[in-house]
Structure 1
């Protein structure tokens, strides 16, 4: 059974044909800022569309005498996620700076040859997707003309916060994933099917995927699912979700910090918000969070600093003013903590973020 989506796009009810329609050489786009179907035979127009939806890039044909270029991009924005069904019709190569987000390429057909951050060349196929890191210059050496891929951009801060909520502890250091993901069976295949189904529902504009009561849980399900499907050092903790339960006082204090990390919290104030004594709060934080309440405040603020530095241009702000705005008065200690947590100085994040 099939249905007609935005702009006449034909999609099967299970999402298996999310993204369809031929390109006759003319360019067109239908939809809105949250979901669109785009077709073009012009390389520059295709690059501009991907720049707007995903990342700034360079794109060129690998062999100009190969099959004609015919880009088909169907994309939907779901909170911290961008899900796209993408194909180009001809072999192309692309180069990016740092992505600033996690990114999964899961081809339905064809292949994508990628390199990132000086690492070895990797190939995404219909059997094995590739999960890319936010850091490290990224090169797509060949996107084969017969490759139609599910391309998912995942906000780094949202994924990190989801992992913290699931495990009960802020992850220490960068969130590193094994890049290869089996998409032929098990959790990997299930996640790809879920992402395509949700994207189909959102693209048609007639389902519940964009309703405020449904959109949030769906986005959380996709983030949760990716954390369960991919390989990373926190998988064991996710396999025992019952152990991640925090007592209500700890949760109340952590929620207060996440809602207003710029507020000059003290341990006494957090204890009052948690409705327990200072000593009880400190003991509970060490047991269930692995750090003191004020250390947790600093961790959340560091995440907000990183988000702002990634989103800014070097000529717009300075590291010191962003750090000061989030409560870090001593630049030396701030820079040391930042490097320890993210593996790079804050100045480099600002230079390469946008």
Structure 2
């Protein structure tokens, strides 16, 4: 069991595991692959087990290929995942698998939290300020849920190593030309399949999506957020007038063009602070690099956006 805990910990999450079905032998079988910010694995234990995982720090879906799994997160009710209903887990909230049945095989999909959050923001064309709350279960017997489960299964079959003594050939899925679109397809598919507050907006007809000039301006900001953009400069990027762009941004993005520039810059600052090694850089150094010259105003804007000061992000 110790080896199984280590493998799950290395590929997925730190855990504590207890066998609760003593008459049955514990025989764990794991087959795990990676696709960019995704980890996908087929897992089984061979005996009923209970697991304590703490906070996952990532979005996670368990597609059951047989058996049952009962789980709870935070103070929520106990949920039961089956071959008809996948279990969906949030990044936050203490996670306990109350019973992972011995006959239960799961196709586990771990998704980096920031990657899924940014994919949603990219799809709806504006920042998401509140945590994304996914429904705790997904119907895999019909509609988008079934299509998504099939997509994940197909990708995993390509990721798993070929059996035998000969060295495995590299999977086509590991090629950058294929891996990135596949990762986006899985993330997009989940956002369309599982219930959450933004699903209706994503399912809206195509004519409700942002127009091409708005997209051109947003792409320019995403590619060069440190550039000293002005309203006139962004309008030139979009190939429209300043007033048209202002009104279109408010309608389709929910903020002005310059507010969008500031939000993208704040996000880049946060990404850099979170990735920094202790003592490697200062908040002011990062803020200046992304175009913030007034540190006091920057700190206020950062706190309003992320709920903490940039110095707190750097310390964590």
TM-score, normalisation: structure 1: 0.74
Separation of aligned partners in 2, 1:319 and 1:90? 50
Query: 1:70 is matched with which residue?
Result: 27
CA contact (8 A) 2:192 2:202 kept: yes
Deviates more, 1:263-272 or 1:220-229: 263-272
The structure-2 alpha-carbon separation of the partners of 1:273 and 1:111, relative to structure 1 and needing over 3 Å to count, comes to same
Q: Shift in Å at residue 62 of structure 1?
A: 2.9
Q: Shift in Å at residue 67 of structure 1?
A: 2.3
Query: 1:163 is matched with which residue?
Result: 120
User: How is 1:102-141 mapped onto 2 (pairs within 5 angstroms)?
Assistant: 102-141=59-98
CA contact (8 A) 2:68 2:104 kept: yes
Query: 1:188 is matched with which residue?
Result: 145
Query: 1:210 is matched with which residue?
Result: 174
Whether 2:52 is the aligned partner of 1:95: answer: yes
Q: Shift in Å at residue 244 of structure 1?
A: 4.1
The structure-2 alpha-carbon separation of the partners of 1:295 and 1:60, relative to structure 1 and needing over 3 Å to count, comes to same
Query: 2:6 is matched with which residue?
Result: 48
The structure-2 alpha-carbon separation of the partners of 1:298 and 1:110, relative to structure 1 and needing over 3 Å to count, comes to farther
The structure-2 alpha-carbon separation of the partners of 1:336 and 1:50, relative to structure 1 and needing over 3 Å to count, comes to same
CA contact (8 A) 1:261 1:297 kept: yes
Separation of aligned partners in 2, 1:186 and 1:197? 17
CA contact (8 A) 1:305 1:322 kept: no
Query: In the comparison of the two structures, how many residue pairs are matched?
Result: 304
User: How is 1:335-350 mapped onto 2 (pairs within 5 angstroms)?
Assistant: 335-339=303-307
CA contact (8 A) 1:168 1:244 kept: no
Separation of aligned partners in 1, 2:314 and 2:51? 23
Q: Shift in Å at residue 230 of structure 1?
A: 0.5
Q: Shift in Å at residue 198 of structure 1?
A: 0.9
Q: Shift in Å at residue 249 of structure 1?
A: 2.6
The structure-2 alpha-carbon separation of the partners of 1:110 and 1:64, relative to structure 1 and needing over 3 Å to count, comes to closer
CA contact (8 A) 1:69 1:89 kept: yes
- 1:125-152 Cα distance to aligned partner (Å, 9 max, x none): 2221121112222222332222111110
Separation of aligned partners in 1, 2:202 and 2:35? 24
SS of alignment partner, residue 141 of structure 2: coil
CA contact (8 A) 1:131 1:179 kept: yes
Q: Shift in Å at residue 196 of structure 1?
A: 0.7
- 1:64-114 Cα distance to aligned partner (Å, 9 max, x none): 734222221112211222111111222333333332221101211122222
Deviates more, 1:129-138 or 1:321-330: 321-330
CA contact (8 A) 2:33 2:39 kept: yes
SS of alignment partner, residue 93 of structure 1: strand
CA contact (8 A) 2:249 2:255 kept: yes
CA contact (8 A) 1:166 1:241 kept: no
- 1:30-68 Cα distance to aligned partner (Å, 9 max, x none): xxxxxxxxxxxxx2222222222222x122223373422
- 1:329-350 Cα distance to aligned partner (Å, 9 max, x none): 33234213213xxxx8878877
Q: Of 238, 249, 259, which aligns to 2:213?
A: 249
CA contact (8 A) 1:319 1:346 kept: no
Query: 2:18 is matched with which residue?
Result: 61
